[in-house]
Each structure stands twice: as C-alpha cells, then as structure tokens.
Structure 1
Amino acid sequence: MGKTCNSIYVSSAQITNSTECTALNGTGSTIIQSNFFENFTKLYSLALDSVEPPSTFLIDLNKYNPNVKYLQCNRCNITKIDNVALYYIRLILRNNPISGTITSRALGYIQYFDYTATDSIYRKDVHFSGKTPFPDTNWKYPESVFGHLSSLPDLTGFSSSSFKQVVFEFGPNFISPPDFSNMSTWRDINDLTLIDNNVNKVTITNFPFEALNIKFLTLKGIDFETPSKFLNMSLIPQITIDKCNLNINGEIPFSLLHPELASFTFTSSNITKMIDLTLFSDNLLSVIGLNGNQIAGELPPNPRFFALEVFGNKLTGSIPSEYCYTYSKLGNNLLSGDLPSCYVCHLRDPIARSYIAGNNFNNYQDSWTTSQYPPCTTAKVTSLSKLSKLSSLTITGVDLGWTSTLLYFPSTSNPLEQPFVSYPRANSIINVAANGPYYNLLLSKGYLNFTLLDINQNFILPLEESGPIVYNISVYPYGNVGYSFFIIGKSFGSSTVNISITFGQLPCYATTVSGDAVECLLYGDSIPENQYTVTVSTKLTNGSIASTTTSYWFKRTFPFITAIKSCPLAGGLVTLYGSFGPIHNDSSVTIGKLDCAIQNISDSLIVCNLDTPGTPGPKNVSLIVNLVSWKAMDYFMYEGEFTCDSNCNGHGFCQNGFCLCYKGYVGAACADIQQSGTGITMNTTGDGTTITTNDSDTSDVKFNFVLRSIVEFSGVRETIRTLALKNWTFTGVTNYQNFSQFGYYTLFETANISYTIQQFNVATQLQFAGSTLQMEKDTIKLSVKVENWRYLGKLNTIQVVLESNMVLPSDYDPSDPCSKTLINTFGETTLNYLSFEHNGVVMYGRFMDKVLSDGRPTFSVAQVLNQGPTSIIVGINFPYCNECILDPDFSLLVKPDRSNSDDACSNQSTSQKQFKWLLPTVIVVSIVGAAAIITILVFTIKSRFFIKFTKEAGLVCFKKRKSMK
C-alpha cells in the first residue's frame, strides 16, 4: 500500500523494522531529517527524489542506518561531499549542485558513484584530489564514476581498481589547456568516456590516449589540435569518436588499429577522405561508423562485407555489388548509376529504402511511387540444408532481402506461429529455426515453403532429412568397467533404439540421446590408445539408415599418476602429479600397505600424508578417484634410502646415493685417480659414428652396446608386446660451443623414437632432477627419446631394454690370472652401479633412481634382466608420461697395477703380462616421450683405443694391444 507522510509519497511502505527497500518522492522543497529512517533497522536500499535533507545527510544516514548500502538522492540540493568516509556500496546523486574537491577519504569504500547533471544548472566545478594525509584513507576511488569535473586528478599510488569505468563531462571552468599528462596515472582503466558540451570550449593540444590500455574509448565534442603524426591505436579494441574535429588533412589520423577491433565509430568529425578498409580485421568487427562527415570520392570495394555506415557524406559513383550482403547505410550522399539488383528487388521494404535514400540513381528516385519501381527478376534459392531436429535450416540464394519481418512461413497448425528467422548474411543466407512443433510439421509435409512479402514471391523447397553429424567427442571413465563417451553434434534423434555407435570394431552402447548430443558406454578397461574411426548411424523417418564417420584419437583418461615427490621413511607429505579429473568424491591413496590421507586434491595434483613409518624398497601405489581405481607397481621409493659406497672414500660427497668426486678422482666410489688421456676424435657417416685416439698399441679388444627393445607391460607386469629397435635413420650433425651432436630416429606406429650422440670437448656441469652431474672432456653422451607411445591398456607402462657385451681377442685365455673378467652389480632393490672388469681395467655405470616425468622428478627402477660371463641385459622401467628423461653417468677407467706378492700377474715376466683391456659397461636409457642419456668417460694410460657406433651393432669400443718386451 502507499501513504502520504509530510507531503512525501512512500511508494512501498511496510512495517518499519522489516522494510529493506524504499523509494520516497518529495515536492522539491520537502524537508526530511537525518533520523527519519532510524527505525528502519533492515533498510538496505533507499531512493529519494526532490527532497531537502540536511547538509550532513550522507554522513548521518551512515550513523543512523549503517545497513543502507545503496543510496540514491536525486535533486536533493546536495552541494558538497565532505571529507569524511562514506560507507555505501552504490551512491547516486544526480542533478545536485555539487562543487569543490572530492577526496578518496570520502569515496574510498564506494564502488559506484554517479553525480551526473543532466540539467546544466547543476553542473559545477568538481575536482578529485590526489593523495591526502589522512590515516584512514585507503588511496582508492570508486571503480565506476559518472559526472563532471574541471581537472584530471593524479592517481599515482592509488589502487588499480580506481576509475575503471569513467564517464566525465568537462565542467564549466575546466582547466584549459588541460594537463592530460595525469591520464597516464589512471591505471587499468577499462571504459573511458570524455564529453565536452561546448559550455566552455576546451582545446586539447595533444592526443594522450595512445599508450592507455583502455578497452572502450569514447570522446564526444572535444576539440583537438591537429596531431603531428598518425596515431597508433592498437591497444584499444573499441573506439567511438563523435564531433571531435580530429583529423590530419581530412584523414582519420590512425595508422594502426587493434588486431581484434570490435567497434569503430568516427562520426561528424570533419573527415574528408575514406579510411583504408584494409586497416580493419574482420575477426570481430561488423560495423564501421562514419556518418556525418564530409567524405568524398567513390564508395570503396568491400570484400569483407563490413556494414559501412556513411550516411550524410559526399560519396559519388555507383554501389558495388558486395554491399548487397551488408547492412550498410549509404543515404544522403551523391551516389548515382544503376542500383544493384538486391536493392531493386526490395524497394518496397522501407528499411532497404532507407539505406540508399537521398542519392540519385538511374533506376530509382526517392520521389517514385511503388508502381514505378523496377520489377524483381533475380531473387532465387540456390540450396537448402538438410532438416535436423534442434538445428536451423539454412536457405542460400540471391537477392533474398534484408528484413526477416518480410518473410512468411505458412503453418497449417497455427498460421500466426512463425519460426525464428535470422540473416547471417543479407540477401544470401537465411536461417530458419526448425524446432519443436515446426520441425514435426516440416517432417510430415516433406517440404519448406515461404514467401518474400515485399516482392510477393513464393518458394516451395523439398526437404531431405539430415543424418547424424559429429562436432566433438569427449570421454570420461565409467567406474572400473569402461568409458563413457559424450558426442556433440546434431541429428541424433531422440531414441536410443534408433542409433548405433562404434569405435572401430568396438560397440559403444547409447544410454541417452537428445538430438544434438548422445552419450554411449564402451565396456572394457584395456582399450588401446589409438586413432579410431567412429561411426554413428541413425534410423530416419522413412526407415533408411544414415551414417557418418569421424576420426577420434583415444588417449588414456584420468585418473593416473605421472610423478611422485616422496617423503622420508619416517613419513610425511607426499605429492602426486598426474590427471585426476574434475570430480574427487570417494578418493583414496595407498602406498605399499599404508593409507596416505589426502590433504588436498585438484585435477592435476594430490597432496597426501603418510603418518606411519614405512619400510625400505620400491612400493606399489594404488589410487581411487570418484570410485575409479588405478594402480602401478614399483612406483614409489622413500627419500634418502640410497647411501654411497665407503662414503665416497673421502674423495667426494654423497648426493642421492651417488658420489660426486672431487677433481682428480673418478669411479663409482671416487676410489680411482683420473689419468690423462691422449684425446679423441669423432667422425660420423650415415652408418654411425667413430671415435679414435692416437697411440702405438695394437690389439683387438672391443665392447658392444645395443639399445635392444622397448617392452610394454600390463599393470601386473605381463608382457603385452615387444618392439625390436632397428632401422635407424641418420639426421645430421650439429656443432655447439661445448659439444658436437649427431642424431638418429626410427618410427613405430604413432611413436617417434630418436636419439642423439654428444661428444663434449670441454668439461661441463649439468643439473638433473635436483642433482649435479659433471661431464668431463671427451665424454660421450647418448640421449634417447620416444614420443607419442601408444599404450594398449590404461595401466600399462614400458621398459627400455639394453644389452652390453664384451668381445674378447682370439688369444684370450680364461685360465690366465692376468686376464680375469668380472661383471659386478650393486644395489639390493634397484640397480645402482654395474661394472665390467678385465685385467684391472674397469668400466662402470651409475644408475640414478630418478627420472624426469613430464618435467617432474620421480622414482624409476633399473634392474638386471639377464647376465652371462661376458654380457648383461638391463631393463629400465618408466612411469606413464608424455616426456621422461633419465640421466645416468658412465665411466671407463684404468685401475692402478696391483704390484704385490698376492697378485699372480706381478710375478710374471713382462713378456707374459697381458695388456689391460678396455671392456664394456651397461648404458641405461629412458624412453617414451622420454630421453635416456648415456655417458662414457674415457681415461687411458699410454693406450690407444677407438669407439665406433653403428646403427646395426650399437656402440663398439676397440682397444688395440701389443705384447710387452
């Protein structure tokens, strides 16, 4: 109800202690006291108009009604904003004679402030201050401000949320010439409008908006001095210039525009030359507004079909035909010649006529009556899309008009019911929404008929029902029994009985169908990652079957883990990286036999806590997310489990179970002294790489290294398939500052398997997975990478298999104590070190327990698969990942002579002693999106050897020998 109270009309009066929103209108002289609303304890929004509150009303209302956050007081004779904090969210004070300086102390808590004066009698001089020395000031103005001002404030040091949306009219005594340099302090302004209504004409001597990152710039009535150069406006995506007298010799003074310009209007600003339309990108822009200028010359070509609004200019010549496809406003120019047929056909359409009125054409004058209009002979339909439920019918043709209100589609069920119609492109494309009853009507009729009313031409078009169309496919795990595929498209029908879907030879059973979407279930948890041909078939109304096919790459879906940051044996936080999906109900993590309590989970990260001490050795990991399970064997190792042999013998320090040796010492435990080598030279051909040193020894010892295969395992370590690696192709050599690099590759299905050989010419220090590695001069490093490996099951992983063997000389005598051969491995649960020794010459390999999986360090197992007297086969396991990198360290050493009574060799004559042989080591590789790095450090004592790599035999090291005399 309403009531009158002291001549104030209460538009929504309720019980005072429950009123939340009230509007009060006075007579213009009605007095209202500050405590009038004191009993309105729940008042949140208050709107007053034409009342006379006390001068302290804005402050007092905060005191009496602190819950009021939205205040509007129009025509309230408010003359100033006191320098006291106001605690409103939205403050509207339109048509009040406000003047003086407004401080951020007063407005710092307000988000929206509007003091617009639509009547000029209320427009006074207002200034916004910069920083003021008050302790409760938060250096912030409202985000949105609308009103008038007589100077531009300096907002240096203010919050970036100040003045994000601003509409300012210049005040009656705006400082002229204005200091627009302060504009650069308005940070992150989003929407700026400046208006000069010629009360006190302001001339701006420069154009200060080029460097501002504004999204919407509007300038109205501002007089600019002629710019000295063309302006770069590439930072502003929406520009409106109106009545601004801004040009350079009649040209729009812009040289560059935003690459995604969405709006451009430059009206009534004395432009005499047409802007180059090639400056505009057609990504978002549809309309170019140039009305009310003095543009002369011919109407330019318009191949991008912009709606060019040039009403009221001085353009001459005829209208190019491409303007038929636009909503261009070409009226009140000096155009002539023959109108294109699209205009001739639709002269009875008043909207089409308005586009060309005020010109002088041969085949149309404004004064003509309808009987004088030329006949339309060119309107026609060239094609009609197939009928699909929930999709539009697309009519394509010539001269089909501009206005949907002049299209009529008869309907026998309801003649007044018309489908929704739109013109994506004038005169040539019409979209008709064929939904609901209208779709059923068209389906029963079998044809579409419509009439162009302005030319009274009817079209009857036979319909063909559309088969299914697929736009997009997404996949989600369906518990632990299969996958749910969600297919977006159209024409899927409405019944699961009338649709069938296959992925290759695998059936996917439809569960829901809704015309433009269908969901189906594909059972089985070991579906191979592959490129599948997806076939969707539907039964049409006439009983025939329509099918469509599309290609779809199926990739492993969440949940899975790619890397783990572990904790010490005592327990602590564990971080799991991988893919865990958008929904995380009923989730758990188990490491070994211990539950890891989830502390935080997102789509790519899980943090869990092991609060019970663990036991040494690799651990299996089990994961459940949203009731979908995943598991992996030997995926986790506690931090700090590895120690260094003999504490690096005091010649190095231990890092993650590996010795980093001090300068001059080498070997797995820094027990051996580095010997000076004679240098090596690397040569490469298409068949491989040869590395040689120059010395006088001659003999035939060699060792072989072969990257043998890649094995894919199931989640329970059953072999799924084995790829023998061969047929390498040489890709070339590249010389860098510290090393030379040689490349090779081979292909398998979707996988690209490649490796590089690098020879370091200077000592180089590298970082890997938090560890430091020292690459000595003459180091040979082999890096192997496999990308896009196609897994055949959701729990599958791969293993890289390497084989190394020694080839002994023909005169080798195994009974000779000086020719002893040893192969040793070190590590209880995962291979740490492996060494070959023959007659005091040792080559050893160091296996880090870390790989980089998708850029993150994680645990990896290296294990001996088979070992013989002169050969060994090693497998390195990898997590599921797109890119894995392993970086082990391998060295070839010559140990000092054991010249003591216990050494049988020391009692032999020099002629009986065999020279020390250089023998092979195992080299480890990481694969699958994965790079494996092998390093061989070569140290010699008056020896000669060379290393040769061939794509057939792998890496071969030769040591030449002669008998001592």
Structure 2
Amino acid sequence: MYSFKPYYVVLWVILLFVRDVISLSPLEYQCTLNFFNRTLNVSQNFKIDPNTLLYDFCDGSLKPTDALVICDGQSVNLIRTTQTTNKLITPSDIQCFSSINTLNIDTFKVSKNFLLGPFSQSLSTVSLHNGNSSIFDIDIGIGKSIPIPNLNIKLYLSGPLNIYFSSLLMVNNLYLITQTLQPKYKINYINDLVGISKSFENIFTYTHFIPSMNNILVNLLQLTLLPGTNLSSFSSFSTYGNVTSFSLSPSNSAVYPFPIALASIPTCKNKNTGFSLNYQIDTPVGFIDLSNYNETVDVTISLPNAGNLFNVNGQFPFSALPKKLNILEFQNGNFAQFNFDQFLNKNSKIIKLGDNNMGGVFPTSFPTNFLSKDVSLYVNDNQLTGQIDESWCEIDLDISNNLISGQAPSCVVCHYLQPFTNSIFGGNQFTNLNENCTTIELNLSYDNETKSLLLYGKDLGFSANSFTLDNPRNWATSLVTTNKEFQIKKNLFATGPIAKGFNITFPYLPQGPRTFEITAYNQFSPEINSVTENSGVFTIIGKYFAYNCNVINVLISDEICFVSSCNFNQIQCSLNSLTQTNSDSSYDSSNSSTIIVSVMDVSSTFVFSLNQNL
C-alpha cells in the first residue's frame, strides 16, 4: 500500500485541475512514474507538459520502441518497456495499476518469485523477453501457481530449466522460447499433477523432452524439438488422447521417429483430431495402424517433409489411417505406391501426396465410389501413369510432372496455355494439346438476393484467371466449381448498379483469344431482328440468345425447330416437316408465322414473315 506523503497531496491537486491534459488519475500517474523510474530514464523517453510540468505518459513516447503506455480513461491499460537499469522489478511495481491488461518488458530483470505475483486481477497478458531463465526458479506447492492467463517468455538458459505443470494451473496460453536454438542447458516439462486436471488453450514451447499430458487437456500444442531431444520421451505420446491437435518442428535437420505411441491410445479415450510432423521421419519398425482414432471427428495428418526413410521396405508406412481422415499431407517422401481406395473415403477433403517417387496407375475416371467431388487431390511430381477423362474436369487436381499420357480432356486442351492450368497439368505426355478449343459453353444468371451473377457451363477454366471481363476492376470473381461455375460480384470499390452482362475474353485458348458477349438470361428476353430460311434451315438473327444450344427451344407455328447451332446473336434450327421430305422443300412464306424463342425459362413470341427484318 502507498501512504500519502505531502508531495502526493500536492500532486493529486495538480492532477485534478489538469485532467483535460493528463488523463491518468493521481494514483495511476504515480504508479506509472514509479514503474518507469525502475526500468529506464523517464526524462529521455517521455515529454513533460509545459503547463503542469508532469510527464504526459498517455500522449506517446519520445522513443516508442523503448517505452509505450496505452491509457483507457484515467487508467493504464498497457505498458511496454525496454529495461535499461539494473533494478529488479517486483510485483508491487505492477500491483498498483488498477486496470492494467498487458505488460511487456524487454531485457527484463525481476525479483525472485516475480511470476507468482500478486498482481492486479485485470492483468491477463505478460511478455518478458531477453532475460534470465532464473525467472522460473519459483516456489512449488499449494497456492504457488502463476496467476497470468497469457504468458509469453523469451529467455536465455543460465542452467537446466525444469517447468512444473503445477505452477501453470492458472495459465491458459503459454509461449516459451530461448534466444538460441542450441541452448547450453536442457528444457524439461515435469508433469506433477496428481488428482487434478488442467486445461490449456495453446502451448508453444521449445523443449528437449516430450512432456507427459496425463490429466492435461490442450487445444493446440506446438513443440520445437531442440538438439539432443530425448527420443525415449516419445513414449509420452500415449498420453496425448486429450491433446486436440499438436505439431512437432525440428530446430535443425535432425531425423526423429514417428510418434508410434499414438496408436496405443484407446479409441474411447482418443480425442486427438490430428498432428503435424515437420521433420524428416525415421524408418518405423513396422506398418503403423492409426485405426484407433474416433470415427466422430475429422482428422488431419500433415507430414510435409516425410523424407526418404519413412517407409517399410519401400512401401507406404501405414497399414490403416483414421476412418474419418479429412486432410492427409504426405509430401517429399519415398514409397512405391498408394492405394487410394484403401486409405481414402468420402470424408477426405484435402489429399497432398506430392514428390514421393510414387508409381502406379492413376484412376482414368474420378472414383465417385469412395471420393466426393469437393476433394482437393494433389499428386504432383511422382511417377504415375495412365490416362484421365472428362470426369476430372470439375475436380481440384494437380497431376503435374508425372507420366500421364493419351488424350487430355477438353478442359485441359482449352486452358493448357493458361499459367495456372499449365502448372497443375504440365510435365505429362498428353498427345492432343495442339488441338483447338471448341467446347466452351457459357451461361449467365443473376441472383437478386445475393446481388451476384453466376457464370456456369463447361470448360470455363481452372481459376478465375482463365478469363477476363469488361472493366475488370469492377468485378470480384470467385471459383465455385472447377471449370463449371464462377460467382461474379461487384467489386467493393465499384459504383452504380451491377451490370447484368459483359464481354468475356478467354486469352489463352490454343487458337488464340476469343471474346463472347453474354447477358444474364433471367434479366433479358430474347429479341429477334430477322428470320431467314434456306433448304429447311432457319437462321434467326437477334440478341440475348445463348452459346449453349441445350438451353434454347424454338417453336415455329407450333412446330419444334431443332437447334443445330447458336451464339449470343444467332440461332440456326430445322423443322422435321421439311428435313424429312426432299432437300428442295422450303417453308411457305406467303403468310405470317409465329415464332417462340425460349432461353432457359425466359421466352419471347414474334410474328414474322421470312426474309424480312422485324
């Protein structure tokens, strides 16, 4: 507690009169002044108000990298400082702040048991960087827990560092690293929790030991393995059933084992939803069975740099994967073949199997029996053979740099010269990439509720960069279904109503760029300018038609006219009554006739006489 000496009373009176300049309350001001007097030279970091001759802590620092105060009304909310003195900071230097939320001290020097407090209950985040590991030389026992929910520590090791989980009972998020990835001493977490459980939101730490997670629940655990990591501690992974997700990263190029103890967790106790191993993995003693994962949760397994050793006699090292495997990343490895139907199912959403020297025959058709069409499948840089058909056109696929051969599907032929498409299909042995693109089908509709356009059809491209629109800055285009659907919205910076039509250009077609004029079919009725007939074939000239003849219906005097070709401005069709007779037959043009042109569910009726403009 602070006693009121005479000069404090004078200070209080001054602050009451100048609160429009200095927002801090008298006690908060004095607490701030005392704190900075212990950490740095106050006069070199804060300016003095000429009217009050008091430091204006809340109005910014003269050296923002060394000192910063953020105020909220009459209270301090955040303090950041770089300590340049040798004075020890104590909890009482912090406790006097009534509403402080965040404390950040660089090159810290603190008293013994500093982390134990007590502190103001409002203090939720403490960051202490570039100080001595003796900060964790704290008393252990009942009531000796660190009362800081979010603890961020960067330190140098002055000796072996043992951190007891009993001291972290009040910590929710822990971030602890050393100044170097090759510290002289070891870091070890000791699980001394008996008859008590503890939950963490996140733990990110350097370590030489895999900590036991008995009685501990963690949402995300990220461990960086330092040189000399104890490999026998990998047996602790048998206690990771309550670790929702974890990742292991190397501090160097060391090879580490797969955490095989995960396979021993009973299914009924296994709440783990996945892991990421960011190191090269050693050869396992046998095939790994991960069928013990819960079938009710989506599982992610990420092995981005598996390495050449992680296989069993050259074979894929798993005998079973989680039944509800959502994401599998196994890249930069070395195995002979992958059995898609054995390891994948309709729960699989993202599969990355790139650069594994993997052979075998790639499925010719998309395997709808065990994969859903919203899967992303990346098998680039392997030795896969076979052919692919049109069923792959709507799939997010990367088969670049394999041995796929034969006829490429039309979606690839049309867009192979587009850089992104080339990056996911290039490096194979397709035989028809010099053919022209003739298969693009375009449709456009407008959704009044979402105020967006839907461009849909066939062979539209593998990305929004496959085409350009008029005034491209006015549009925001996103892929809905590969090659089939794109949503088009007005850019946030564009003004005025959204246009219901535009010119769309495909600049990378093998025969050269091609531009189409298109409008939203449900916003414009077909218009006819003229109708001509020659040998039973009617040519209808107008606008607001379609490039997809399957969506156009034509009736001439109540008889179906079968459409043979179409575009935005022209339709050609034939009447059976003429084509089934001799080729010299012609339509009776002596009388006016009625023609109905329907595009999707929008139609128009016209009365016409042949060879006359309407």
| Band the TM-score falls in, shorter-chain normalisation | 0.5 to 0.7
RMSD: 4.0
- Using the alignment, how far apart are the partners of 1:229 and 1:97 within structure 2? 38
Structure 1's 354 and 279: CA in aligned 2 closer, same or farther, altered over 3 A? same
Is the helix fraction higher in 1 or 2? 2
Structure 1's 15 and 217: CA in aligned 2 closer, same or farther, altered over 3 A? closer
- Per the TM alignment, residue 191 of structure 1 is displaced from its structure 2 partner at its CA by 0.9
Q: Which residue is 2:278 aligned to?
A: 220
- Per the TM alignment, residue 434 of structure 1 is displaced from its structure 2 partner at its CA by 7.5
The question of 1:18 aligning with 2:68 is answered no
Structure 1's 390 and 243: CA in aligned 2 closer, same or farther, altered over 3 A? closer
Q: Which residue is 1:104 aligned to?
A: 165
Q: Which residue is 1:237 aligned to?
A: 299
The question of 1:69 aligning with 2:159 is answered no
- Using the alignment, how far apart are the partners of 2:384 and 2:179 within structure 1? 37
Q: Which residue is 2:517 aligned to?
A: 460
2:376 counterpart (296, 307, 311): 307
Q: Which residue is 1:172 aligned to?
A: 227
Deviation digits for residues 760-788 of structure 1 (CA, Å, limit 9, x no counterpart) = xxxxxxxxxxxxxxxxxxxxxxxxxxxxx
2:262 counterpart (208, 212, 217): 208
- Using the alignment, how far apart are the partners of 1:239 and 1:105 within structure 2? 31
Q: Which residue is 1:422 aligned to?
A: 478
Gaps of 5+ in 1: 365-373, 468-539, 545-965
Matches within 5 A, 1:234-633: 234-235=293-294, 237-244=299-306, 245-277=309-341, 279-283=343-347, 285-301=348-364, 302-303=366-367, 304=371, 305=373, 306-362=375-431, 374=434, 376-381=436-441, 383-385=443-445, 388-390=448-450, 392-410=452-470, 415=471, 417-433=473-489, 442=499, 447=501, 449-455=503-509, 456-465=513-522
Contact 2:476 2:491 in 1 (8 A): no
- Aligned residue for 2:480, secondary structure, equals strand
Q: Which residue is 1:34 aligned to?
A: 89
Q: Which residue is 2:147 aligned to?
A: 87
- Per the TM alignment, residue 358 of structure 1 is displaced from its structure 2 partner at its CA by 4.0
- Aligned residue for 1:23, secondary structure, equals strand
Deviation digits for residues 666-708 of structure 1 (CA, Å, limit 9, x no counterpart) = xxxxxxxxxxxxxxxxxxxxxxxxxxxxxxxxxxxxxxxxxxx
Structure 1's 335 and 207: CA in aligned 2 closer, same or farther, altered over 3 A? farther
Q: TM-score, normalised by structure 2?
A: 0.62
- Per the TM alignment, residue 10 of structure 1 is displaced from its structure 2 partner at its CA by 1.2
Letter in 2 for 1:275: N
Deviation digits for residues 614-670 of structure 1 (CA, Å, limit 9, x no counterpart) = xxxxxxxxxxxxxxxxxxxxxxxxxxxxxxxxxxxxxxxxxxxxxxxxxxxxxxxxx
Deviation digits for residues 546-565 of structure 1 (CA, Å, limit 9, x no counterpart) = xxxxxxxxxxxxxxxxxxxx
Deviation digits for residues 769-820 of structure 1 (CA, Å, limit 9, x no counterpart) = xxxxxxxxxxxxxxxxxxxxxxxxxxxxxxxxxxxxxxxxxxxxxxxxxxxx
- Per the TM alignment, residue 328 of structure 1 is displaced from its structure 2 partner at its CA by 2.1
Structure 1's 293 and 193: CA in aligned 2 closer, same or farther, altered over 3 A? same
Contact 2:101 2:124 in 1 (8 A): yes
Contact 1:85 1:107 in 2 (8 A): yes
Contact 2:476 2:489 in 1 (8 A): yes
Structure 1's 282 and 432: CA in aligned 2 closer, same or farther, altered over 3 A? farther
Structure 1's 381 and 202: CA in aligned 2 closer, same or farther, altered over 3 A? closer
The question of 1:52 aligning with 2:142 is answered no
Contact 1:69 1:90 in 2 (8 A): yes
Structure 1's 4 and 13: CA in aligned 2 closer, same or farther, altered over 3 A? farther
Deviation digits for residues 710-735 of structure 1 (CA, Å, limit 9, x no counterpart) = xxxxxxxxxxxxxxxxxxxxxxxxxx
Deviation digits for residues 484-531 of structure 1 (CA, Å, limit 9, x no counterpart) = xxxxxxxxxxxxxxxxxxxxxxxxxxxxxxxxxxxxxxxxxxxxxxxx
- Using the alignment, how far apart are the partners of 1:416 and 1:382 within structure 2? 18
Contact 1:207 1:227 in 2 (8 A): no
Matches within 5 A, 1:666-677: none
Deviation digits for residues 906-948 of structure 1 (CA, Å, limit 9, x no counterpart) = xxxxxxxxxxxxxxxxxxxxxxxxxxxxxxxxxxxxxxxxxxx
Larger radius of gyration: 1
- Per the TM alignment, residue 165 of structure 1 is displaced from its structure 2 partner at its CA by 1.8
Letter in 1 for 2:338: M
Structure 1's 286 and 183: CA in aligned 2 closer, same or farther, altered over 3 A? closer
- Per the TM alignment, residue 320 of structure 1 is displaced from its structure 2 partner at its CA by 4.2
Contact 1:389 1:434 in 2 (8 A): no
- Per the TM alignment, residue 438 of structure 1 is displaced from its structure 2 partner at its CA by 9.3
- Aligned residue for 2:277, secondary structure, equals strand
Structure 1's 257 and 381: CA in aligned 2 closer, same or farther, altered over 3 A? same
- Using the alignment, how far apart are the partners of 1:8 and 1:420 within structure 2? 40
Letter in 1 for 2:125: Y
- Per the TM alignment, residue 154 of structure 1 is displaced from its structure 2 partner at its CA by 3.9
- Using the alignment, how far apart are the partners of 2:253 and 2:134 within structure 1? 21
Structure 1's 155 and 341: CA in aligned 2 closer, same or farther, altered over 3 A? closer
- Aligned residue for 1:52, secondary structure, equals coil
Q: Which residue is 1:795 aligned to?
A: none
- Per the TM alignment, residue 164 of structure 1 is displaced from its structure 2 partner at its CA by 3.1
Deviation digits for residues 265-310 of structure 1 (CA, Å, limit 9, x no counterpart) = 1112322212314642335x43211122110233334334433212
Contact 2:257 2:284 in 1 (8 A): yes
Q: How many residues align?
A: 443
- Using the alignment, how far apart are the partners of 1:432 and 1:56 within structure 2? 62
Gaps of 5+ in 2: 1-58, 525-600, 606-614
- Using the alignment, how far apart are the partners of 1:257 and 1:362 within structure 2? 37
Q: Which residue is 1:804 aligned to?
A: none
Deviation digits for residues 225-283 of structure 1 (CA, Å, limit 9, x no counterpart) = 23246442643621112334443343434454445432111112322212314642335
1:192 counterpart (239, 242, 246): 246
- Using the alignment, how far apart are the partners of 1:403 and 1:95 within structure 2? 47
- Using the alignment, how far apart are the partners of 1:356 and 1:363 within structure 2? 13
- Using the alignment, how far apart are the partners of 1:387 and 1:104 within structure 2? 56
Structure 1's 247 and 441: CA in aligned 2 closer, same or farther, altered over 3 A? same
Letter in 2 for 1:176: L
Structure 1's 422 and 170: CA in aligned 2 closer, same or farther, altered over 3 A? same
- Using the alignment, how far apart are the partners of 1:435 and 1:14 within structure 2? 38
- Using the alignment, how far apart are the partners of 1:460 and 1:113 within structure 2? 58
Structure 1's 287 and 140: CA in aligned 2 closer, same or farther, altered over 3 A? closer
- Per the TM alignment, residue 149 of structure 1 is displaced from its structure 2 partner at its CA by 2.7
- Aligned residue for 1:147, secondary structure, equals strand
Q: Which residue is 2:61 aligned to?
A: 3
- Using the alignment, how far apart are the partners of 1:185 and 1:329 within structure 2? 38
Letter in 2 for 1:220: N
Q: Which residue is 2:43 aligned to?
A: none
- Using the alignment, how far apart are the partners of 1:217 and 1:355 within structure 2? 27
Matches within 5 A, 1:922-961: none
- Using the alignment, how far apart are the partners of 1:102 and 1:382 within structure 2? 64
- Aligned residue for 1:76, secondary structure, equals strand
- Using the alignment, how far apart are the partners of 1:324 and 1:15 within structure 2? 57
Q: Which residue is 1:120 aligned to?
A: 181
Q: Which residue is 1:503 aligned to?
A: none
Structure 1's 220 and 106: CA in aligned 2 closer, same or farther, altered over 3 A? same
- Using the alignment, how far apart are the partners of 1:399 and 1:336 within structure 2? 20
- Using the alignment, how far apart are the partners of 2:73 and 2:94 within structure 1? 8
